[in-house]
Amino acid sequence: MKNNRLMKWMILLILVVFSACQATPAPAAETEAPVPTEAQAPRTIDESNAGTLKVVLTEAISTGSVNISWTADGDAFWAEDQYTALLHDGETAAEIARFVPGINSAIYDTSPDGNTIAYSVENDDIRLFDLEAESDAVVISTGFPYSGAFFSPDGKTLAVPSLMDIKVVLYNAATGVKSGSLSGFSTAAPVYNAKFSPDGDTLLWFARGTVQPMDIDSGVMGPILSHEDFVTNQMVSPDGKVIATTAAGMVDDAYQPLLTLWNAQTGDKMAQIAMPAYYTAISVSPDSALIAAGTEEGVVIFSSPFGEEIGHYETSEAITDLEFSPDGTRLATVLESGYLQFYSP
């Protein structure tokens, strides 16, 4: 009996010691719910960062040189030559749509909404092809020879320069109905053309070495901007205050490629910048503070309106076109081999 009691006490003591040695489980740590973070908004290209831009995207979009133009919302861009119009995603550059009208056709312009292409077959009627419907939505029989066609910034009007008279005939892009015409430009040159300003308030006429703005509402012609040689690029700043042109001219007893910034109201030269390489394209930023110029050797960015150089980027081949995105966060450039590059802060 005594031995039994002793055995029970020994077993109880062992159990107590064993229990005491077991670690007490720690209470579960409270986990905090993850705090959502807002995506950092893309930075706008401005004077503070235009000198340190980076190539954030390089993509082959064509087998040769093309012109580039953003859609109004910046979600996509057109890359086009005379025979092909390609619509690409504005972030990834992935191809969204392709339009190839065939032989004996010419593409004139693409719409700001990313859906319509103005073209002709054998330089006859102007056709407006609807990408969504995959068919011609409008056919315009001008009744006169023309040199091309271009959309207004809002896409509602198609403008057609006449080869019979120095005038631009306007058509409703939705119906093809003639809505008016603009004239007042005078030139001895047999070939002329015109383009809308980004805000749609000005029509910029140009022929050989002459450029002249016109207020569309009043029909009043602005100052004549004369150059020594053919004007290769011309555009009005989005705020309507500056006209940028490129043409060769004499500076310091040397004939050089020149970028000239003009006061759009008075015609005064506000800046003139000579470069060793020819200018191939120009674009003004949405806030009108910067001008990007493409050359045979790269991209140069200047302040506007006084032309101070604040960014210079060399490329292995010539730039054929470039354009700031509508939000000003990207500068799209195209090399003559058909490669697209996006510059961004």
Alpha carbon distances (Å) from 59 to 3, 31, 77, 336: 92, 44, 13, 13
3-state secondary structure of 2: helix
**pLDDT tens-digit profile of 166-198?**
999 999 999 999 999 999 999 988 789 999 999
Give Cα separations from 153 to 25, 132, 196, 206, 220 (angstroms).
71, 20, 7, 18, 20
The model's pTM is 0.87
C-alpha radius of gyration, the chain, whole number: 31
For residues 34 and 306, what is the distance between their CA atoms, to the nearest angstrom?
A: 50
Distance CA 88, CA 95 (A): 4
From CA 312, how far away is CA 256, in angstroms rounded? 19
Chain-centroid distance of CA 93 in Å reads: 13
Backbone angles phi, psi at 95, to 5 degrees: -70, 130
pLDDT number for residue 25: 43
Cα-based angle 56, 57, 58 (whole degrees, multiple of 5): 135
Taking the C-alpha atoms of residue 69 and residue 332, their distance in angstroms, rounded to an integer, is 9
Three-class secondary structure of residue 5 per DSSP: helix
pLDDT in tens, 267-313: 999 999 999 999 999 999 999 999 999 999 999 999 999 999 999 99
| Spans of all domains in the chain | 42-344
Residue with tokens 């493409």: 294
Kindly report which listed range (12-21, 24-33, 171-180, 227-236) carries the lowest average pLDDT score: 12-21
Model confidence at 6: pLDDT above 70: no
Q: How far apart are the first and last CA of the chain?
A: 92
Give the per-residue pLDDT at 33: 56
CATH 3.30.1300.10 is right for the domain spanning 42-344: no
